Amino acid sequence: MVLDVKTRTKPVTGTVRVMTGNEACAEAAVAAGLGFFAGYPITPSSEIAEGLARTLPRSGGTFLQMEDEIGAMGAVIGASLAGAKAMTATSGPGFSLKQENIGYACMAEVPCVVVNVQRGGPSTGLPTLPAQGDVMQARWGTHGDHQIIVLVPRGVRETYDLTVRAFNLAEALRTPVILLLDEIVGHVSEKVVLPAEIEVVERERPDASARKYLPYEETDSDVPPMASFGEGRRFHVTGLAHDETGFPTNDSRKIERLLLRLDRKIRRYAAQIVQVDESLDEGATVGVFAYGSTARSAARAVRLARAEGIKVDFLAPLTLWPFATPQVAAMGTRVRHIVVPEMNLGQMAHEVEWAVGREAAVHSLTRVDGEPIRPSQVLERIREVARR
Amino acid sequence: MIDYEHYLRVEKFPLIWCPGCGHGIVLKAILRAVDRIGLEKDGVAMVSGIGCASRAPGYVDFNTLHTTHGRAITFATGVKMARPDLTVIVATGDGDATAIGGNHFIHAARRNIDMTVVLFNNWIYGMTGGQASPTTPFGCHATTAPYGNPESSFDISGLAVAAGASYVARGTVTQPTKLDRFIEQGIRKRGFALIEAFTPCPTAFGRQNGMARSTDLLQWMKANTITVKQAEKMDRADLDGKLVTGVVADVEKPEYAQQYATLVERLRAEGGQDAPAPARRPISAADLLVEGGVS
């Protein structure tokens, strides 16, 4: 469903709005300074493209409907190299198609935001129904070792905030950031109060002279300052393994230095990148780990369980990757059981198990029939494990 | 007289291309065209995909972008729309542009976005060792067509014309001064321009087809090169195997980046009805990146 902008009376920042997650994403992107969007129609993400087709040219940015998903990802990378904050939006099948170029953006360190409004898969799957089956594709979809940042909002206001954050992290770290919505978050219409002010990061520009500029310089921060095409620094960009100059190299030492830096660049800032929403209960024996729209059902289940006298810890990650290992490991030391509801066959439950080791038993609660996980399902599982 | 070294990253020599390869001749033709127009190096972006031809940008002192296989035109589209003032040249090959990248090729032509695609057509996948491409002539040999190519080949220029390109020309490295004139006209044309350049690959194409020496290939090319005007007087059947060179299309039509800029101007003049954006508080990357990794 698309709200008609014209029917709204004077929408004012900082006041109450009614909008969907997809609409919030499109609006937040413009607020964050989006200069270029390229996309391809796909359910359930199309409203993001439709919204930006209306608003982006009004703010002087470019909206471009490309001939396919791969082309949209390529255009986004090209625009970012030319200096624009750039974004694309898609869903599962399109996300699969974009993976090669997402890897290019990792390798060539090109900031960009890729929105994936998840639907049921594999293949054409369930175009109009919710799922969370792309959490591992988001992490490992492109070939080769790489780090990736994946943000996972639970509702409309959080989609707005995490869209802005996605741009900030992309620009700060010269890396693609995946914003992982699900069909429910994308299409749910909620009352929200939008922020009156947002924090915006611009990518660090080089101050070195044109002659000395090294586009992939090894700096203290591990993030090389980024010039744009057409500014007088004529540098080379390639997806091949390259040295600090940006040109291809077969020197094994230089190759290793590059790949380790790309890995370290995200890993060393993980504590800052990872955000979680925790609700601790003194003496809890049961923990719940849930993300995306499923975290909404889980939060209600936790409230109901507590009302019944069951002590429950709750952890909802807003950053799915890098994984919130310290927080999840800490939960494992507090509780005996962790329930992980998710609309897939247990993709993140494995990661939770990995993080807690033998400290707690992990109970995967899965659903892949196109229906959301209901609070009653989570509550039932909480009751069951609390009795053990 | 052009000073080639002004435009070249000579420190990156020697070239990756094999002895007898024609790609250097095409690259020099591009540089002569750029020089004759008088473009500043800062104002040129050269974008390529994957393959032998796509290594060209590494050797030229422009803003250069070596992308993924088949996708050069899409990256170039992003560059052009973010910086419409840049002159965008795409260096690509027959496989890169018309097999894996065929969809982008026809849609960029349809969109008529201002860029000049120089397509190095050597009728073969050279970098991967001589597999059949969409332009490998019927019956010719390739490692993936060991009994002779059973497929028909693409008329790339015809494809570009049908898709809506503003300017289309075919040249050959055996006539390099004509080739640079076509490229010059393509760059000057506001819109999508395709210059298809026939170029010999003795290593991967010639050796499999009885023309292992570059001179054999060049002589074969010269013997079969005719002009567009000559071709018009010939029977269609006789054109099989001919390299028809010359300007195939040169038309005036609306260019995409300019159309988009006009739209932006119009909308700004009308005034928007969008929700007011929140205030932006700039913070530095360092504020966001406080160290402390996950153990």
Chains A, B: CB pairs < 8 Å: 240
At A18, is the secondary structure helix, strand, or coil? strand
Number of domains in chain A: 2
Whether B10 has its CB under 8 Å from any CB of chain A: the answer is no
Nearest to B81 by CA among B264, B282, B257: B257
Determine the structural domain holding residue A59 and report its residue range: 5-193
Whether A271 maps to a domain, the answer reads: no
Residue A129 structure tokens? 């129904």
Phi, psi torsion values for A156, nearest 5 degrees: -70, -50
Is beta strand A149-151 parallel, antiparallel or unpaired with respect to B167-172? unpaired
Amino acid B294: pLDDT: 39
Calpha distance B197→B207 (Å, rounded): 20
Name the helix (H) or strand (E) containing B203. Answer: none
Cis peptide preceding B14, ω within 30 of 0: yes
Residue in chain A nearest B271 by alpha carbon: A58
Is beta strand A85-90 parallel, antiparallel or unpaired with respect to A34-39? parallel
pLDDT tens per residue across span B83-106: 999 999 999 999 999 999 999 999
pTM beyond cutoff 0.90: yes
Name the helix (H) or strand (E) containing A178. Answer: strand A176-182
Residue A178 structure tokens? 């995946």
**CATH number for A309:** 3.40.50.920
Calpha distance A289→A50 (Å, rounded): 34
Number of domains in chain B: 1
Same domain? A281 vs A181: no
Is residue B2 scored above 70 in pLDDT? yes
Is residue B269 scored above 70 in pLDDT? yes
Whether A236 has its CB under 8 Å from any CB of chain B: the answer is yes
Whether A230 has its CB under 8 Å from any CB of chain B: the answer is yes
Residue in chain A nearest B269 by alpha carbon: A58
Calpha distance B108→B93 (Å, rounded): 16
Same domain? A287 vs A181: no
Same domain? A17 vs A154: yes
Amino acid A13: pLDDT: 58
At A180, is the secondary structure helix, strand, or coil? strand
Among residues A158, A193, A228, which one ends one of the domains? A193
- Sorted by sequence, the CB contacts under 8 Å of residue A354 that are 6+ apart come out as none
Residue in chain B nearest A238 by alpha carbon: B66
Say if the Cβ atoms of B267 and A13 lie within 8 Å.
Answer: no
Whether B273 maps to a domain, the answer reads: no
C-alpha neighbours within 13 Å on the C-beta side of residue A370 = 8
Say if the Cβ atoms of B293 and A270 lie within 8 Å.
Answer: yes
Calpha distance B75→B49 (Å, rounded): 9
Amino acid B291: pLDDT: 61
Q: Which residues of A touch B273 (CB under 8 A)?
A: 5-6
Among residues A169, A193, A217, which one ends one of the domains? A193
Whether A293 maps to a domain, the answer reads: yes
Whether A240 has its CB under 8 Å from any CB of chain B: the answer is yes
Amino acid B241: pLDDT: 86
Beta-bridged to residue A337, according to DSSP, are: A286, A361
Say if the Cβ atoms of B64 and A80 lie within 8 Å.
Answer: no
Amino acid B274: pLDDT: 66
Whether B270 maps to a domain, the answer reads: no
Whether B192 maps to a domain, the answer reads: yes
Whether B94 maps to a domain, the answer reads: yes
Could you tell me if residue A276 is left (phi over 0), alpha (psi between -120 and 50 degrees) or otherwise beta?
Answer: beta
Whether A218 maps to a domain, the answer reads: no
Q: What angle do CA A360, A361, A363 make, to 5 degrees?
A: 135
Same domain? A176 vs A285: no
Beta-bridged to residue B90, according to DSSP, are: B47, B117
pLDDT tens, N- to C-terminus, chain A (388 residues): 333 333 334 444 576 899 999 999 999 999 999 999 999 999 999 999 999 999 999 999 999 999 999 999 999 999 999 999 999 999 999 999 999 999 999 999 999 999 999 999 999 999 999 999 999 999 999 999 999 999 999 999 999 999 999 999 999 999 999 999 999 999 999 999 999 999 999 999 998 665 689 999 999 999 999 999 999 999 999 999 999 999 999 999 999 999 999 999 999 999 999 999 999 999 999 999 999 999 999 999 999 999 999 999 999 999 999 999 999 999 999 999 999 999 999 999 999 999 999 999 999 999 999 999 999 999 999 999 999 9
Residue in chain A nearest B109 by alpha carbon: A67
Phi, psi torsion values for A57, nearest 5 degrees: -65, -25
Whether B48 has its CB under 8 Å from any CB of chain A: the answer is no
Contact B171, B198 (CB under 8 A): yes
Determine the structural domain holding residue B254 and report its residue range: 13-259
Amino acid B273: pLDDT: 64
Write b or e for each residue in B52-82: b if 16 or more Cβ atoms lie within 10 A of its Cβ, otherwise e: bbbbbbbbbbbbbbbbbbbbbbbbbbbbbbb
Among residues A176, A193, A210, which one ends one of the domains? A193
Whether A266 maps to a domain, the answer reads: no
Whether B295 has its CB under 8 Å from any CB of chain A: the answer is yes
Say if the Cβ atoms of B280 and A197 lie within 8 Å.
Answer: yes
| Location of structure tokens 């997402």 | A102
Select the residue of A55, A101, A237 nearest B66 (Cβ to Cβ). A237
Helix residue ranges, H only, chain B: 4-7, 23-37, 72-82, 94-95, 102-111, 156-163, 176-188, 214-224, 228-232, 256-270, 285-288
Nearest to B186 by CA among B231, B95, B102, B119: B119
Q: Which residues of B touch A83 (CB under 8 A)?
A: 82-83
Whether A105 has its CB under 8 Å from any CB of chain B: the answer is no
Q: What is the mean pLDDT of chain B?
A: 95
Say if the Cβ atoms of B285 and A172 lie within 8 Å.
Answer: yes
Q: Cα torsion for B255, B256, B260, B265, to the nearest 10°?
A: -10
Residue in chain B nearest A57 by alpha carbon: B264
Whether B212 maps to a domain, the answer reads: yes
Calpha distance B294→A305 (Å, rounded): 31
Amino acid B278: pLDDT: 87
Residue B101 structure tokens? 């990248």
Amino acid A210: pLDDT: 59
| Location of structure tokens 């004759």 | B36
Same domain? A49 vs A179: yes
Whether B115 maps to a domain, the answer reads: yes
Whether A178 maps to a domain, the answer reads: yes
Is residue B157 scored above 60 in pLDDT? yes
**CATH number for B44:** 3.40.50.970
Whether A257 maps to a domain, the answer reads: no
Whether A82 has its CB under 8 Å from any CB of chain B: the answer is yes
Least confident of A49-53, B7-11, B232-236: B232-236
Nearest-neighbour CA in chain B from A286: distance (Å): 24
Say if the Cβ atoms of A101 and B76 lie within 8 Å.
Answer: no
Which amino acid does the sequence have at B217?
L
Whether A264 maps to a domain, the answer reads: no
Amino acid A8: pLDDT: 37
Contact A73, A99 (CB under 8 A): no
**CATH number for A33:** 3.40.50.970
Whether B269 has its CB under 8 Å from any CB of chain A: the answer is no
Q: Which residues of B touch A323 (CB under 8 A)?
A: 294
Say if the Cβ atoms of B86 and A35 lie within 8 Å.
Answer: no
Helix residue ranges, H only, B152-292: 156-163, 176-188, 214-224, 228-232, 256-270, 285-288
Whether A223 maps to a domain, the answer reads: no
Mean pLDDT of B60-82: 98
Is beta strand A189-193 parallel, antiparallel or unpaired with respect to A176-182? unpaired
Q: What angle do CA A141, A146, A152 make, to 5 degrees?
A: 60
Select the residue of B58, B63, B276 nearest A234 (Cβ to Cβ). B63
Amino acid A6: pLDDT: 38
B267 band by pLDDT with thresholds 50, 70 and 90: very high
Q: Which residues of B touch A236 (CB under 8 A)?
A: 57-58, 64-66
Whether B85 maps to a domain, the answer reads: yes
Say if the Cβ atoms of A78 and B77 lie within 8 Å.
Answer: yes
Q: How would you list the strands of the sheet with B167-172, edge to edge?
A: A236-238, B63-66, B44-48, B87-93, B115-121, B192-198, B167-172, B243-250, B225-227
